[in-house]
Each structure stands twice: as structure tokens, then as C-alpha cells.
Amino acid sequence: MALRRYTTVVDGTIPIPALLYNDEELLASQDNVGIYDGYQKAMDHQSGTVHVTTHRLFFMNVRSAATQSFSMDLSHVIRTDHYTGLFKSSPKVTLFLDANSVSNSGNGDDADARFESWECEVCSYRNPPGLSPAAAQVCSLCGVPRNAVPAPTSQTSSGALPTPLASFPTSSTSLPGTPSRSGSPPPHGNGDPESIACSACTFLNHPSLPVCEMCFTPLPVVSQRFGNNNNTRTKSAPSSRPVSPVSAAAVDPANLLIKLSFRKGGEKALYNILKRALKARVWEVSRYRHECGFFCPLIAVEFAREGRSERFRGMANRNVNASVKNTQTELSDAFQDLEALMVKARDLVQLAAELNEKLNASSTIANTPGSASPTGSIFAVTSLAPSAEPEEAKFIRSSLSQLGLQMTNAPVTPDMIRDERRWIGELARELAGILQGTSDDTPGQKPSGIMRQRGIVGLDEVWGGWNRARGVALIPPSTFLQTLQFLPDCTSPPIYNRTFKSGLRVLHTPPYTHASFTARLLGHLMLSEVLTTSQVAQEEKITISLTAEMIEAVEVDGVVCRDDERSAIRGGGSGSGSELRWTLNMFEEYVWDGQTFD
């Protein structure tokens, strides 16, 4: 149904270039394509070649090219969709068609009329045949619509004349497009005694009656006939039964679509070209171009009516030319501005790159003596001593930062530092700032950092906190772990990395090393003999799970031993709810003092 309504049969034996309008261009072709009419396969159009032009979509049937090929105006397409295909289902492109537009080329007469040459009513220019329908509607010389003179509407003649420029927006609607296609306007007078079929009882009434003579059902208004080609056509047919307004109008809008099924691929390229063609809307551009000069045609119409067309011709031409010229200069001005901007931008980027290179060069020169030292310590190279930097470089850096090109707390990113080791070293320093707070903070403010208050922190928390602080260019765990080995050198007190038996990794300050924690724990146990894990955690102000890990590490040394509450006779927890109690291991030197036998 969609197929029949929107397409025109063309002779597929004619080569494509011969079928095109003069202002039409062939964009792409793809063979092995099948057509779906709505959601059903169109049985007659299962194998053919699809051609996309600026105006139309051609389907050239392979089997019966002469009768089963068609063309469709792209102006009907309101939306497209692309389906990539799955297993045996071929990729498809769906074209959703506008329910309100009807193919203007349903009958052969129209198509023929289009290819006739015609003389403009205003300027007498003989327009050559072969232009696209939209372009053919207006004179290619003066831009006056083809039928402007014979059928001027009252709106255009009165409204547009006093203020020609203000009439632009309305001009598109007032353009006599669809109704006057057949070349001459439909008969306007009421001399035609065409009877009107009643929608209820099908009685054919006299056109002047407002209601049905038989059943008093209100009849369709006579004036509607003018705007509705289909109505008049059906009425002229010898029919005793009323016909529903339009058969095509009953079609579900959802079904108004055509699918192109690409049996042998190629859908991507074609779809892109098709989309571009739809976006370009060449058929409208040509119409717009003529509308630009539309105020002149209106004047021309007036003059032509008064029989002064001769005098007007030159004037109309001048106006058209002037408006086209205006548009062109404005456009070229805009492009010139853009080009200038691009040139400047390139200069700016170049300048920044040069500056950066110079800075890098100067800083490496400053650091060369350090790298030559026999110690070979990487930190002699990596640490960028500020004092070693030349004054100029420092000045440039500071002005850069003043310009906002370099923030003081900007995250270190790999493109800022070329050398991998230096990059890690810089990262370690940044991390140190996050953990302990930077020393160059404002003096009144207490430096803050993740590990300012706490001596031991889980690695996951540090990683998350660091990346949150960076915000951009997040650090992957692998780089994070690499950074950790440099951390003790950048922090004071040094922060170490430790992995527990369970795999839990932490960062900690010296008070939380294994040795010092053991010493503290033994001291606590000395005083209170027995301590539960949570008591130790409370004492140490760290989490219970961390405490458990640390005590278990001490237990490995054999200096403490555990007492599981699960082995209590009465009470006591069971399962994971029970707690471990820790005592000093005083059993190493235990001597048997129980029962002996001689």
C-alpha cells in the first residue's frame, strides 16, 4: 500500500542517467536489494538495484525491469531507521513516509507534463524541460511560480505588497504547490452540477444542498472539493455508493513505510549517503532559492495584471540578483571569519608547544649535573630542584600558571612527563601530598591528609581517595602499586606498604610496623594478661579487622597464643560470632608438673 501510494512506475530498461532531472545527481547504487511494502515483502520487488539520487530513490527490478521498477521522491521520507541484521535476516533500512504527503506522480499525465517546456507568464522566458518538480514550478529566470498569474490568491496579492520583506515567512505557505499541479486550476465555478454522495445513505445529492435529501445527514461542504483532489475524482466516477473519503487515508500511519533489505550487504555506505541526501533536502533548497526572490514575483503579478509586464521584467531581474548577491556575501564573510579564527588557533597551539619544549630543554640542562653523579640514585635525576631552574623558566612557568594554564594542584599526567620513572616519582610525590597534606598549605590552616590522623589505612581507601582527589586522568591499580615503592622517600614520617597474610594491603606509618606493634601488644598483655581482639583494636584506635590481621601476624612469631571462646563449656559464642582472646605465650618453657609414674 505504501509502495503504491508513494512510488511511480518507471521504465527500468532506461539507464539511470537518462531518468534524472537536470538538477538531480546520482549519489550511490547498490544491487541485490529487496523491497518490503510496510512490514510485508513486496513479492514483485524482491531483487533489484537501488539508486539514491539527490531527489529520489530508484528501484530497478532485475526480473521485469520495464514494468516493476519504480522511483520514489525522497521528500516523502520523514524518518529512517537502520537494522543491522541478525543471522539469516538481512540488514535493512526502513524509510518512514509522511502520511500527509501524497505522491504527485500517480498518473502518467503529470509525469509527462513535467517534461514539457513552458513559458513564464511574467518574463516570457521559455523554461526548458527536465527540472525536478519543485524546480519546475518556478521560472528559472525570474523565480515567479508557474501558475502565479492565473490563480493568484487574495492573501498573496493584498498582504505581501506593502511590505515585501516582511512577507517572507508567509510566502512558503502561500506558494501554490500541490493543488495546481495539473497545469491549469480546477474549475472554480458552480456551473458544474456535480452531485454529492451522502455518507450515510449513499444518495447522490445536488451539490447546493447542505443536508441529504433522503436522510438529512449533513453533507460534505462543497468548498472542500477544491482542496481535495481525491474527492472530486471519486465523485466523478459513476458510482451509486458513497466512497470513504480516501482509501489511502485509512492506512495506518505506522504501516507507511518501505524497507530496503540488503541481501548482499552494502547497506552501511548506502544508508549514510541516503541520510545525507535526506538531510540536504535538495528539493527544498531549490524551492527556497526561488522563494527568496518571491516578493518580486508578487509585484510582478500585480504589474502583469495591469499589462505592464514589459516594464517590470528588468526590475524583477535586478531584485533577484541583488538578493542572491546579499546572501552570498554574508556567507562568504562568515567563512572568512572562521578561517581567520582557525589560523589564529593554530598559531596559539604552536606557541604553547614551543614554550613547553623550551622549558623542558632548560630543565634537563639544569639537571644534567645531578644525573652525572656516580651515586646513580634515580631521585637525583627525577627530583626537579626548583633552585636549579633558570630564572626565565621559573618566570614563564609562573606566568603560565597565572594565566590559568597550569594549576598548582593539577594532577600529574603522563604527557606532562616523558620519562616513565620520573612520572612514577612525580606520582609518588603527589600521593604523599594526598596522604600527609602538602607542607606549603596556607600557614593558618592545619595540613590535612588521609593519613594525618591515622597511622594505618587500607590500600583500597587510599586508591579511591587519591583518584577522587585527582578527578581526571585516574590512576590504574598497576600504576598505583608501582608508585608505592617510591612513597617512603617522599613522605615524612615515611609511609610503608604492607601485605597481610590474608592479602589485605595497607599503608602505614612507622608506629604500625610489625616490630613496634608487637612490642606494644606485648606491653598491653603484660598488664592485663588477657585481651580480646576488640580490646586491642580499641587500644590501638584501628579497625577490628585490621587489628586481627596484625595480631595474627604477631601470632606467627609465637609470642602470643589464642583462646577461642568456642571451646567454652557454658556460654561463649559459636561460629564467627565468638571472639578470640589473646594471652602471652608462656608455654615454651613449660615443664610438666602433673602426675608422674616413678
Enumerate binding residues for another protein (CB under 8 A).
530, 552, 555-558, 561-564, 566-572, 581, 583, 585, 587-588, 590, 592-597
Looking at the Cβ atoms of 407 and 526, the one nearer to another protein is 526
Looking at the Cβ atoms of 188 and 570, the one nearer to another protein is 570
- DSSP string of 31-80, one letter each residue: EEEEEEETTEE-TT-SSEEEEEESSEEEEEESSSHHHHEEEEEGGGEEEE
Q: How far apart are CA 355 and CA 295, in angstroms?
A: 58
| Least spacing, CB of residue 533 vs another protein, in Å | 14
Looking at the Cβ atoms of 18 and 569, the one nearer to another protein is 569
Looking at the Cβ atoms of 88 and 570, the one nearer to another protein is 570
Residues 29 and 132: beta-carbon distance below 8 Å: no
Looking at the Cβ atoms of 87 and 590, the one nearer to another protein is 590
Q: How far apart are CA 37 and CA 44, in angstroms?
A: 10
Looking at the Cβ atoms of 388 and 522, the one nearer to another protein is 522
| Least spacing, CB of residue 435 vs another protein, in Å | 33
| Least spacing, CB of residue 434 vs another protein, in Å | 37
C-alpha cell recorded at residue 263: 541481501
Cα-flanking dihedrals φ and ψ of residue 27, to 5°? -100, -45
Q: How far apart are CA 512 and CA 519, in angstroms?
A: 10
End-to-end CA distance of the chain: give it in Å, rounded: 115
Looking at the Cβ atoms of 32 and 583, the one nearer to another protein is 583
Looking at the Cβ atoms of 415 and 593, the one nearer to another protein is 593
| Least spacing, CB of residue 532 vs another protein, in Å | 12
| Least spacing, CB of residue 561 vs another protein, in Å | 4
Contacts by 79-85 with C-beta closer than 8 Å and gap 24+? 80/271, 80/274, 80/275, 80/278, 82/267, 82/271, 85/262, 85/267
By CB atoms closer than 10 A (0-12, 13-18, 19+), residue 198 is buried
DSSP 29: E
Looking at the Cβ atoms of 87 and 597, the one nearer to another protein is 597
Q: How far apart are CA 460 and CA 504, in angstroms?
A: 9
| Least spacing, CB of residue 579 vs another protein, in Å | 12
| Least spacing, CB of residue 566 vs another protein, in Å | 7
Cα-flanking dihedrals φ and ψ of residue 10, to 5°? -125, 160
| Least spacing, CB of residue 555 vs another protein, in Å | 5
Q: Using the CB atoms, write b or e for 14-25: b if 16+ within 10 Å.
A: eebeebbbebbe
Q: How far apart are CA 548 and CA 566, in angstroms?
A: 17
| Least spacing, CB of residue 514 vs another protein, in Å | 15
The distance of Cα 80 from the centroid of its chain, to the nearest Å, equals 16
